Amino acid sequence: MFDVIIVGAGPAGLSAALILGRCRRSVLVCDAGLPRNAASRALHGYLTRDGIEPADMLRIGREQLRPYANVHLRSDKVTEARRVGDGFEITVDDEVVSSRKLLLATGVVDHLPEIEGLKPLYGRSVFHCPYCDGWELRDQPIAIYGREDRGAGLAVELTGWSRDLIVCTDGPATLSTADRDQLTELKIPVREERIARLEGTDGQLERIVFANGDALFRRGMFFNTGQDQRCDLAARLGCEFTDRGAVRTGEYEMTNVPGLFVAGDASRAVQLAIVAAAEGAEAAFAINKALIKENLFLNRADETNTKT
């Protein structure tokens, strides 16, 4: 029986493991090795780590857990999780392991637009988050991909990074009059032609080729096509979700399921690694406090039983 099982060893899970390790808790961390930003070459905006390779950051995070012998890392997928009594049981590699508290830091998976030629450019010059990758494309010609009405908000947001913006809807746009007026006011054209493919070299986008043969020179593209939870453990444990598909959490990343916490991208709107790490730390803080309280209660109950 571990004090805590953490599913997911991205920034959220590793940060929680570090705090809980330092609280002398017995911790098991299981990770399936599929971080959300695997396609990215550099992680930006993380204080003291701006521009680090994402894999390096995870390597350092794991290395810094090594002195804490009470923290165990497993490179395995958790396939089941159940609430049993006041605690939890998980299944990992056909083995059942139990804990008093459970933290899911399992992240999300992004829907990529289905456009020929996109995959080799994704994470290098095609992105979804301007806060992560806008700086590298400042003042450059940028396309915003969003079918129907999805690109308008992202285009407005991107005006902080470049004024050479074009929205590509890859088919008929269904923008509201207000959105159209705003794009016109900001001098952001909308191209509704179907996109045939993206072309580029060594990860650098060069042009968007439309089905009618026209080509549009662009140095970068941002898109907003949605995401799903990376795994369904939170749903199977009975968590509530927001309208946008994030696990609904309250103070300190607590969920509606007693003893279950969800931190990182899986539970929030601001999807930055540093926020995920902060949420992991917050959850760890609350988990440790809850365990201290429960231990005190158990000790008092033991003393009363011994006296009677």
Window 8-27: contact mask with ligand FAD (x via CB under 6 A)? xxxxxx--------------
Residues 119-138 that bind ligand FAD (CB under 6 A): 123, 127, 129, 132
Helical H segments across the chain, by residue range: 11-22, 54-63, 130-133, 151-158, 177-185, 233-236, 273-307
Helical H segments across 159-253, by residue range: 177-185, 233-236
197 forms beta bridges with 116, 209
> Shortest Cβ distance from residue 149 to ligand FAD (Å)?
23
> Shortest Cβ distance from residue 294 to ligand FAD (Å)?
26
Residues 205-264 that bind ligand FAD (CB under 6 A): 230-231, 233, 264
Of 19 and 188, the one with the shorter C-beta distance to ligand FAD is 19
Q: Which stretch binds ligand FAD (CB under 6 A): 1-9, 59-67, 281-289, 297-305?
A: 1-9
Residues 175-204 that bind ligand FAD (CB under 6 A): none
CA distance 203 to 65: 34
Sheet holding 190-191, edge to edge: 126-127, 220-223, 142-145, 165-168, 190-191
Residue 8, class by beta-carbon neighbours within 10 Å (0-12 exposed, 13-18 middle, 19+ buried)? buried
- Applying CB under 6 A, among 36, 100, 150, 218 the residue interacting with ligand FAD is 36
Query: Which residue type is seen at 66?
Result: R
Tokens of 92: 């990992």
Q: Which stretch binds ligand FAD (CB under 6 A): 33-41, 62-70, 206-214, 285-293?
A: 33-41
> Shortest Cβ distance from residue 308 to ligand FAD (Å)?
45
Q: Please give the C-alpha separations between residue 276 and each of 53, 109, 186, in angstroms, as whole numbers.
A: 17, 15, 33
Residues 45-74 that bind ligand FAD (CB under 6 A): 45-46
| Binding status of residue 44 toward ligand FAD by CB under 6 A | yes
Tokens of 173: 């746009």
Which residues lie near ligand FAD (CB under 6 A)?
7-13, 30-37, 39-40, 43-46, 77-78, 105-107, 110, 123, 127, 129, 132, 230-231, 233, 264-266, 271-274, 276
